[in-house]
């Protein structure tokens, strides 16, 4: 069984299975501030409690700021993508046959 971890470090909330913090018994554990809040057989049940605890906290994720776009780099990338697409289909545009292909 693979370890599983879903967490929000800023709040101290996590769902874990098979990690060092919880027993390796196949159950999903909901941890809040280092304390076990629940033990569930399915991830769906654990996520329900996880969302409930999270809704009681006054925490909102920080909005992501878009990365600045360099127009010259974007144009080059667009050209390279078009070139790659052309050469990927190039084999289908090539003429098949030899000298005597269309002779009767």
Domain ranges in the chain are 4-56
72 token code pair:
């010259």
CA pair distance 82, 70, nearest whole angstrom: 19
Token pair 């999270």 in the structure block, residue: 54
Among 40, 8, 36, smallest CA distance to 22 is for: 36
Q: What averages of pLDDT result for each successive group of 10 residues across the chain (104 residues)? A: 92 94 94 94 96 91 83 87 86 64 64
Which stretches of the chain are assigned E, i.e. beta strand? 4-8, 13-17, 28-32, 35-40
- Output the pLDDT for position 102: 65
- Output the pLDDT for position 70: 80
- Output the pLDDT for position 54: 93
């Amino acid at each position: 069984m693979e370890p599983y971890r879903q967490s929000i470090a800023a709040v101290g909330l996590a769902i874990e299975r098979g990690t060092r913090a919880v027993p390796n018994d196949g159950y999903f554990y909901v941890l809040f501030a280092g304390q076990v809040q629940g033990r569930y057989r399915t991830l769906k049940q654990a996520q329900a409690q996880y969302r409930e605890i999270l809704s009681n906290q006054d925490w909102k994720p920080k909005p992501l700021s878009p990365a600045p776009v360099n127009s010259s780099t974007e144009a080059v990338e667009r050209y390279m993508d078009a070139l790659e697409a052309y050469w990927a289909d190039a084999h289908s545009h090539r003429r098949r046959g030899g000298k005597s292909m269309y002779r009767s």
